[in-house]
Structure 1
Amino acid sequence: MSLSTPEHGGRLRAAAKTWDIPVDQWLDLSTGINPHGWPVPAIPDEVWRRLPEPDDGLEQLIRQWVSAPDVAACMALAGSQAAIMHLPRLRQPCRVGVPFPGYQEHGHNWVVAGHRVIEIGNDLREDDDESWLDELDVLVWINPNNPTGQAVEPGRLLGWHQRLQRRGGWLIVDEAFVDATPELSVGHATDLPGLVVLRSLGKFFGLAGLRAGAAMGDPDIIRRLRAMIGPWSISGPARSVMGQALADTQWQAATIERLHSESQRLADCLSKHGFEGASGTALFRYVRHDRAADIADELARRGILVREFENPAALRFGLPGSEPEWTRLDQALYLSHLY
C-alpha cells in the first residue's frame, strides 16, 4: 500500500481552478455529506472563553447515540480521523486487514505506523470460509462501507471479533455512515475487549467542518488512546454543538426518513440515465463504470463535482440539496449522453 497521502471528496477549490469555474457555481456531490445538516444554534460566549470540561454530560449522550453499555469507555474526538491516526500507534507492528475498496485513511495510517496492511476484497468477505481472519492481528472494518455502501450484519462482525480476540486481536469498526441504518451498528457490544467503534458527526449530521466524533469500546484501548492524544481532544464549541445535536432525537428520526427517500430518488435518477447496479447508503450512491473518469470530467465541465475512483473504476454521487440541484443533475446526465 502506498505511503502517499490519500485523496478525499470535497476538493472544490482545486476543481474550480482546474475547470475555470467559480466556486459558487458548482454543485458539489463528491463528499456524501448530508446537504440538510443539523441547524447549529448560536454558541454561548462563555463556551469560547472556557477550556473544555469533560463532565458536561457529552459522554453519556454519545453512549445513548450508539446504544453503548454504561461500562464501555467513551472518548469525544476532533472527528473520527483523530482515532484513525492514533490507534495504529497503540500496537507493535503487526498484520492489519482493511477492506478494499474502502476509506483509504485507515490503511494509510497503519502503514505509516509500520504495520503490514492486507487488503480484504469482496472475494474473502463474502466467502463462508473465514480462515483469512487467522492471518490478522487487527481488522479495521467500515460498516457500511465507504465508498461502496456494502454492509456486514452485526452478528457476523461480532463473530469476526470473537475469532480475532481469541489471539488478542482487535476489531475496529468505522461507523461514519451508519446513522441512517442504526440496526447495522455494533455499538451495543462495545463492552467487549478488543472492540472499538468509531462514529462521526460529519456525514449524517452534516457537520464535517465541526470536526466532532467519538471512539468507544475496550476501556484499556480507549485509556491508552486518551493518554496519547492528551487533554482537550475536542474543542469546547465542538463539545457544545455535538451535545445539542445528539440530544435532538426528533431531528435525527425525521432525517433518517428524509435521507432514505432522497437516496432512492438518486438511485432512480441514475438508473434512468443508464447507471445500473448502484449500491450505497442513505447519503450516497456508488456505481462502477468503465468510463468513470470520462464521466467525472464531463460532469465537471458542467460544474458538477462527483467522486471518481480508479481501482475499480467507479463514481460516487452525493445527494443534491434542493430542487434546482436535482434538476441540474438530471439535465447534466441527460445532455452529456454518458451511458
Structure 2
Amino acid sequence: MKAIRTDMDIPGEALAAVDHGGSLGRARALFPQAPEPFVDLSTGINPHSYPLFDLPATALTRLPEQARADELAAVAAAAYGAPSPANVASAPGTQILLPRVCSLVKPGRALVLGPTYAEHARAARIAGHEVEETPDFDTLSAADLAIVVNPNNPDGRVIARRDLTELASRMEAKGVLLVVDEAFMDVGPHRESVAGDVEQGGLVVLRSFGKFFGLAGVRLGFALADKETVARLAGGFGPWAVSGPALEYGIRALSDADWQRQMRARLEGEADRLDRLFAGHGVEVRGGTPLYRYMEFAEAGSLFRALGERGIVLRHFSDRPHALRAGLPGNDEEWLRLEAALAGWKGTR
C-alpha cells in the first residue's frame, strides 16, 4: 500500500506561490517614493464591482443552508451554460480548487499550455505531477493531465471549443483529464466555452466569480464537470464550503443578466480606450481581454519603472522582461494619472 503523501514530501519550491499582481505591499517596496494612493493596474479584476448590498444577518450568524448552496449551483449552471446544477461544484475560490482538480488523476505527466498563469503548474506539482509547459497545443494529448487557460492570461489567446472538446474526448478515452480554466470567459467569446460539454467526461472547467464581478475578496469559484467528478470534489470539501456572504453575492450577481450585459459593453469600450491611449504613446497592444491588455516591446521594463515611480503599477513578468499587462483604470482620476504618466515617460525616452 502506497504511503500517504504529505506536504513534507513536496519540494518547497513547488509549494511557494509565485508573485502575482494586486499586491500593494510589493508595489510600495518596489517604488517607496511613489505618490499614493497607487493606481493598481496589475490585476485583471474588474474595477467596477457588482453593487454592494446589505446582507441578511443570517448570512453571518448561521451556518450556510444547503438550500442556498443548491440555489447557487443552479444559478451558476444557468449563467455559465453547464448542463445542470449537478455539474457544478462551488468552492471558496478557484485557487483552492486547482490542486484538488489536479489530484483527480494519479500523479503522472502534466502539460500546461503556455506561457500562462503560473499557479496551474504549481498546483499540478502539489498534486504530485511532473510538470512541463508547452506552447504546442497538439502535444497536450500525450499528457496525463493537460491544462489550458482560455482565454489565456496574460495574452488573451483563445483555443476553439471544437479543438478542446476533441482533446477532452481523447483524454477521456485514456482515463486522464483536461482542465480548462475559463476565469476570463465572462468577457471572452462565449461560443468557445466548453462549460456545456463537461458531461462528456475527461474535462473539468474552472470559472472564477471575483474577476468579472470585481469582488475578488468574496472568494468564490466553481468547477464544472461530469456529475460523478462534481460529487467527488464536493465530497472532499464537506458541508459549508462556501460562506454565507459568498452565497448571497453569488446568487444575486450571477442571476443579474442585465448588469452582466451592460458591464460587458462598458468593459469593451474601456479596453478600446486603453488601447488608443497606449498607441498614442508608441506602445502597441497585442492581445488580452476586455479586463486586461497585453503588450510586448523592448522598452517594457522602462515603462514599468516610469509608471511605478508615478504610483501606477502594471504587471511585469520576471520570465518575460519585454512583456506587460495592464488592467483598466477605475475612474476619471485614474485615467488622468495614467495619461500624465505616459506623457512623462514618452518625454524622457
Calculate the TM-score normalised by the size of structure 2: 0.90
1:329 counterpart = 2:343: no
Return the match for 2:299 from 291, 300, 315.
291
* 1:134-177 Cα shifts (integer Å, max 9, x gaps): 42112111110011111111111111112222211211111111
Q: Which residue of 2 aligns with 1:163?
A: 170
The change in CA–CA distance for 1:99 and 1:155 in structure 2 (over 3 A counts) is: same
The change in CA–CA distance for 1:71 and 1:36 in structure 2 (over 3 A counts) is: closer
Q: Which residue of 2 aligns with 1:16?
A: 28
Secondary structure at the counterpart of residue 179 of structure 1 = helix
**Letter of the aligned partner of 1:107 in structure 2?**
A
Q: CA–CA distance in 1 between the matches of 2:224 and 2:251?
A: 16
1:76 counterpart = 2:84: no
* 1:41-78 Cα shifts (integer Å, max 9, x gaps): 11011111111122221111010011111275211111
Moved more, 99-108 or 88-97: 88-97
Moved more, 60-69 or 96-105: 96-105
1:60 counterpart = 2:74: yes
**2:105–2:145 Cα contact (<8 Å) kept:** no
> How far 1:219 sits from its partner (Å)?
2.0
Q: Which residue of 1 aligns with 2:244?
A: 236
1:319 counterpart = 2:328: yes
Q: Which residue of 1 aligns with 2:134?
A: 120
**2:172–2:202 Cα contact (<8 Å) kept:** yes
What percentage of aligned pairs have identical amino acids?
38
> How far 1:289 sits from its partner (Å)?
2.4
Q: CA–CA distance in 1 between the matches of 2:220 and 2:105?
A: 25
Secondary structure at the counterpart of residue 174 of structure 2 = coil
Q: CA–CA distance in 1 between the matches of 2:340 and 2:285?
A: 21
**1:267–1:278 Cα contact (<8 Å) kept:** no
Q: Which residue of 2 aligns with 1:98?
A: 112
Moved more, 85-94 or 300-309: 85-94
* 1:186-206 Cα shifts (integer Å, max 9, x gaps): 111121212111111111100
**Letter of the aligned partner of 2:262 in structure 1?**
A
Q: Which residue of 1 aligns with 2:181?
A: 174
**2:105–2:144 Cα contact (<8 Å) kept:** no
Moved over 3 A (4+): 21-24
**1:72–1:191 Cα contact (<8 Å) kept:** no
Q: CA–CA distance in 1 between the matches of 2:105 and 2:179?
A: 13
The change in CA–CA distance for 1:89 and 1:134 in structure 2 (over 3 A counts) is: closer
**2:90–2:221 Cα contact (<8 Å) kept:** yes
Q: Gaps (5+ residues) in structure 2?
A: 1-10
Return the match for 1:33 from 45, 68, 84.
45
Q: How does 1:197-216 map to 2 (within 5 A)?
A: 197-216=205-224
Q: CA–CA distance in 2 between the matches of 1:266 and 1:327?
A: 12
**1:34–1:283 Cα contact (<8 Å) kept:** yes
Moved more, 255-264 or 166-175: 166-175
**1:102–1:146 Cα contact (<8 Å) kept:** yes
**Letter of the aligned partner of 1:289 in structure 2?**
F
1:195 counterpart = 2:209: no
**Letter of the aligned partner of 2:332 in structure 1?**
E
* 1:200-229 Cα shifts (integer Å, max 9, x gaps): 111110010100111111222222222222
Q: CA–CA distance in 2 between the matches of 1:71 and 1:9?
A: 33
Q: How many residues align?
A: 332
Return the match for 2:267 from 237, 259, 265.
259
Question: Which is richer in helix?
Answer: 2
Q: CA–CA distance in 1 between the matches of 2:99 and 2:142?
A: 23
> How far 1:39 sits from its partner (Å)?
0.5
Calculate the TM-score normalised by the size of structure 1: 0.93
> How far 1:334 sits from its partner (Å)?
1.5
Q: CA–CA distance in 1 between the matches of 2:26 and 2:141?
A: 43
> How far 1:5 sits from its partner (Å)?
1.9
Q: Which residue of 1 aligns with 2:6?
A: none
1:133 counterpart = 2:147: no
Q: CA–CA distance in 2 between the matches of 1:304 and 1:148?
A: 20
**Letter of the aligned partner of 1:45 in structure 2?**
A
> How far 1:21 sits from its partner (Å)?
4.7
Q: CA–CA distance in 2 between the matches of 1:104 and 1:67?
A: 27
Q: CA–CA distance in 1 between the matches of 2:141 and 2:290?
A: 33
**Letter of the aligned partner of 2:104 in structure 1?**
L
Secondary structure at the counterpart of residue 32 of structure 1 = coil
Q: CA–CA distance in 2 between the matches of 1:36 and 1:258?
A: 10
Q: CA–CA distance in 2 between the matches of 1:294 and 1:228?
A: 47
**Letter of the aligned partner of 1:331 in structure 2?**
A
> How far 1:22 sits from its partner (Å)?
7.4
